[in-house]
Structures are given as structure tokens and as C-alpha cells.
Amino acid sequence: MIYDVKTETMSREEMEALQLKRLQEIVAYAYENVPFYKKKYDEAGVKPSDIQTLKDIEKLPFVTKADLRENYPYGMLSVPLSEISRIHASSGTSGKPTVVAYTDEDMEVWTECVARLVAAGGGKKDDIVQICFGYGLFTGALGLHQGWERIGAAVIPASTGNTERQLMLMKDLKTTAIVSTPSYALHLAEEMERLGYKPEDFNLRVGMFGSEASSEEMHAEIARKLHLFPTDNYGLSELIGPGVSGECECKCGMHINEDHFYAELLDPNDFHALPDGEYGELVLTALTKKSMPMIRYRTKDITKIDSTPCACGRTTKRMAKLKGRTDDMLVVKGVNVFPSQIEGVLLSFKEIGSSYEIVVTRENYKDNLEVKVEVIEDSIVGDYGKLEKLADDIKKALRTVLQIDVKVRLVEHMSLKRYEGKAKRVVDLRKY
């Protein structure tokens, strides 16, 4: 079902006209109301009146996470605190968190954006949805909660933790939809198996996943193990939280809520605009966000854009599943390695589980890449020959994809750490 037919099926001309109008408004608004933007634009020698076409956005300087950190906590607000109705924060890599705020109007936009993606992913009024994201400062839980509520579903704010209890609730309350990270969905599936449940014991129908990278293979596994239709959903706190883009039932890219988010795809080295189909860094502008204007925010997320029509009838551009981030991209032996590439290979082996850990070390100036995976196939545990062959097969498959040698370490089932939030897959122990 298309939630907002008028907006989601707009012609390209109409959408671009709307985007330009909103871009001009938000740039002028930010310049007048946020000293940070006034200073930045004055220094760059640009004025709001220089924005005459959408392409003119390229005249504006970028905003980065460092800018938010420097203006912590309220330095980028355009309104007095009395106008703010919600505050969230995302964990910073070090030190202070990144604080984001919403006015009533921003909350309304957020809720509508998520509601569109809920409907796109197959969510319905009759659904009973269990939100297994951590309630708190993280935008995931409350953001999706609001969107599901807006479409009229019954929302269970289960939060994270206590997987056995989650499964009990899921079964007893006849949950039809779940919202979580994709890795937690697989953990739920593992626990189901361990506790002797079968997927048929549950009423699951759809799953909205996001906030961390997942491969097509991972979604296929979730679908198979939990008997539900999974969709991938993307967003980030700085822009709004979840609600930026999400997959529809065609699963051919995540539809961007383009009337609220203007997406540019740039070469991360020289920032020239890339054509559709080429991977680059996503730079987003929140076209309507009032509390904390976010104009040309460098997401560091790597994706590609597809503007061709989608079979679902929506006309909005789609972004591909994330290939990684410019800053979690590993360079091992001089080769760019994305954890998502490794994951894709690992999930093609049925003998190993979906949890893995990538460890990078350096010895005598030489990089080593080790992948730890859990053996879940009982028939080969204890059979040295079979284990050795499995490790060798995984190694060969990784070599084909990555073009470098990888050490494969098989470990016991359930011995790797499980995560309720975003999974941490990479341990880089190299000293530079």
C-alpha cells in the first residue's frame, strides 16, 4: 500500500520543483536563524539568493559530525528550547554524544516519513508490532514506534534484552511484525531454534530492519528462519532518525522520502557528483527540518542511487543497500575491504552461523585479516578433516571476492558475542 500517494508518486518535475522551493526556504532560514550557517556561508562567500537551481546546492559547504560535536549540545538550534518537543542523541565514537532536537512540526514530519516506510514494507493497521530496538536516546525505537502507531497498528514497546522473554511475548501476544537490527533478528531465530520453537509457532508476517548494514543473503536467511517478509530501512539521527529511506515489497533499493531529504551522491575524494549506478558517499539535506537545519550533511555512508521507475508505483529515487562507510572501510594489504562483502560470502555457507568477527592485525608491517565464524553443523563438529575442508572453502571464497588472503578461524557455536543493538563486527588492532 502506498501511504501518501500524492507525494510518493509525484512526477520528477513536480518533485524537483518542490525540492527547490524547500531548499531555498531552508537555506534562507538557516542563514537567518543559526549563527553557525551564517558564519559558514559568509566565509564561503555564498548567499541564500545564490540558490537558483537544485544544482546550486553544490555552492554550499558541507556539514560534518565534527560540526555537531563542536556545537554540542544546542549550538545548532534555530529555535529557543521552549519550542523543542523531543531530544535524542546518538552515541559518539568518542566523548560526548551527538544531540538532535525536534519541534512539533519536525515530529509530525518524522512520524509521516516513518509511516510511509511502514506501509512500503507491508505494515498494516491490523498488525501487532513488537519493537525490539532499545527505547531511549536512540532514534530507532521511538521513531518506528510513532510511524507504526500512525498507520493504526498495535505497538508493543518490548525494547531490547531478554530474548527468551521477547519470544514468549511474540508467541503469546501473536506478534505479526518485528522491528529490530537485522543481526538481532537472526539472534531471535537462533534462540527460537535453541528453545525448541518452530517458526510456525509464531504469527510473524513482516520485519522492518535497519540501523546497521545487512546483505541480501542475510535478509534471505531472516525470511527463511522467521517466516516473514524483511525490509531494509535507513536513516540517521542527524537528519531525523529512521524515516529517510526504506525498501518496498519489490526490494530493489530503499525509496528516499525525497520531499524531505535531498540526496546527493558524491565521490568522497574530490566531491564531484556521481551518476546513477556509481557508488559514492551520500550527502543529505533535510529540506524541512526546522529545529536544527541540516544542509549538505556528509553521512560517510556509501551507496548508489537508482532513479528508474519501481514496479511498486512509487516514483521516488532509491538508494542501494549500504556498502559500508567511508570510515569503516578497511584497507587491508592496500585493498579496500567492506565488512558487507565478507558477510555476503559467509552467509553462503550453511555450515556456519550468521555471527562473525573480523580481526585485523599487523605484524612486521604486514596486515593480516582473520575472520572468526561459528560452526553450527553438528555433523562436522569433531571431524577434523571436514572442519579443515570447510575453513579452506571459506578461505577460497573470500579470496575470490576480496582478492586477498584471509585467515579463517572456526569457533564453537554461540561463542561469539551477541548484540541487541548495532553489532560490532570489526576489531582493528593495527597501530598506525
- Work out the number of other CB atoms within 10 angstroms of the CB of residue 180: 29
* Options 29-37, 106-114, 231-239, 350-358: segment touching ligand DLL (CB under 6 A): 231-239
Residue tagged 556509501 (cell numbers):
302
Instruction: Kindly state whether residue 257 participates in binding ligand DLL, applying the rule CB under 6 A.
Output: no
Q: Which C-beta is closer to ligand DLL: that of 129 or that of 213? A: 213
Residue tagged 558477510 (cell numbers):
343
Q: Which C-beta is closer to ligand DLL: that of 207 or that of 241? A: 241
Amino acid at 128: I
Cell of 269: 575524494
Q: In the complex, what is the shortest distance from the CB of residue 231 to ligand DLL, in angstroms, rounded to a whole number?
A: 9
Instruction: Kindly state whether residue 280 participates in binding ligand DLL, applying the rule CB under 6 A.
Output: no
Cell of 50: 545564490
Q: In the complex, what is the shortest distance from the CB of residue 121 to ligand DLL, in angstroms, rounded to a whole number?
A: 11
Instruction: Kindly state whether residue 212 participates in binding ligand DLL, applying the rule CB under 6 A.
Output: yes
Return the ∠ at Cα 187 (arms to 186 and 191), rounded to 5°. Answer: 120
How many Å is the maximal CA-CA distance in the chain? Answer: 72
Inter-CA distances, 292 with 77, 100, 239, 421, Å: 5, 7, 9, 26
Q: State the virtual CA torsion across 30, 110, 61, 8 in degrees, nearest 10.
A: -110
Q: Which C-beta is closer to ligand DLL: that of 249 or that of 377? A: 249
Query: Which residues, in sequence order, are bridge partners of residue 242?
Result: 235
Amino acid at 62: F
Instruction: Kindly state whether residue 127 participates in binding ligand DLL, applying the rule CB under 6 A.
Output: no
Q: In the complex, what is the shortest distance from the CB of residue 271 to ligand DLL, in angstroms, rounded to a whole number?
A: 18
Q: Report which DSSP code applies to 273.
A: B
CB contact at 8 A, 337 and 330 = yes
Q: In the complex, what is the shortest distance from the CB of residue 215 to ligand DLL, in angstroms, rounded to a whole number?
A: 10
Residue 355 to residue 374: CA distance in whole angstroms: 7
Q: Report which DSSP code applies to 256.
A: E
Q: In the complex, what is the shortest distance from the CB of residue 98 to ligand DLL, in angstroms, rounded to a whole number?
A: 7
Q: In the complex, what is the shortest distance from the CB of residue 89 to ligand DLL, in angstroms, rounded to a whole number?
A: 9
* Options 32-40, 109-117, 228-236, 375-383: segment touching ligand DLL (CB under 6 A): 228-236
Amino acid at 367: D
Q: Which helix (H) or strand (E) holds 224?
A: helix 216-226
- Strands 154-156 and 318-319, how do they pair? unpaired
Instruction: Kindly state whether residue 310 participates in binding ligand DLL, applying the rule CB under 6 A.
Output: no
Q: Which C-beta is closer to ligand DLL: that of 322 or that of 375? A: 322
Q: Which residues 6+ apart lie within 8 Å of 382 measured at CB?
A: none
Instruction: Kindly state whether residue 235 participates in binding ligand DLL, applying the rule CB under 6 A.
Output: yes
Distance of CA 391 to the CA centre of its chain: 31
Instruction: Kindly state whether residue 292 participates in binding ligand DLL, applying the rule CB under 6 A.
Output: no
Instruction: Kindly state whether residue 253 participates in binding ligand DLL, applying the rule CB under 6 A.
Output: no
Instruction: Kindly state whether residue 146 participates in binding ligand DLL, applying the rule CB under 6 A.
Output: no
* Options 40-48, 124-132, 211-219, 402-410: segment touching ligand DLL (CB under 6 A): 211-219
* Options 50-58, 159-167, 227-235, 405-413: segment touching ligand DLL (CB under 6 A): 227-235
* Options 42-50, 170-178, 188-196, 232-240: segment touching ligand DLL (CB under 6 A): 232-240
At residue 122, φ and ψ (nearest 5 deg) are 100, 5
Instruction: Kindly state whether residue 353 participates in binding ligand DLL, applying the rule CB under 6 A.
Output: no
Residue 68 to residue 345: CA distance in whole angstroms: 37
The footprint of ligand DLL on residues 382-421 (CB under 6 A) is: none
Binding mask 67-106 vs ligand DLL (x if CB under 6 A, - otherwise)?
-----------------------x----------------
Q: In the complex, what is the shortest distance from the CB of residue 241 to ligand DLL, in angstroms, rounded to a whole number?
A: 5
Instruction: Kindly state whether residue 294 participates in binding ligand DLL, applying the rule CB under 6 A.
Output: no
Q: In the complex, what is the shortest distance from the CB of residue 275 to ligand DLL, in angstroms, rounded to a whole number?
A: 22
In the set 113, 186, 222, 322, which binds ligand DLL (CB under 6 A)?
322
CB contact at 8 A, 214 and 182 = yes
Instruction: Kindly state whether residue 217 participates in binding ligand DLL, applying the rule CB under 6 A.
Output: no
Residue 84 to residue 34: CA distance in whole angstroms: 15
Interaction site with ligand DLL (CB under 6 A): 90, 139-140, 210-213, 232-237, 241-242, 299, 301, 322, 325
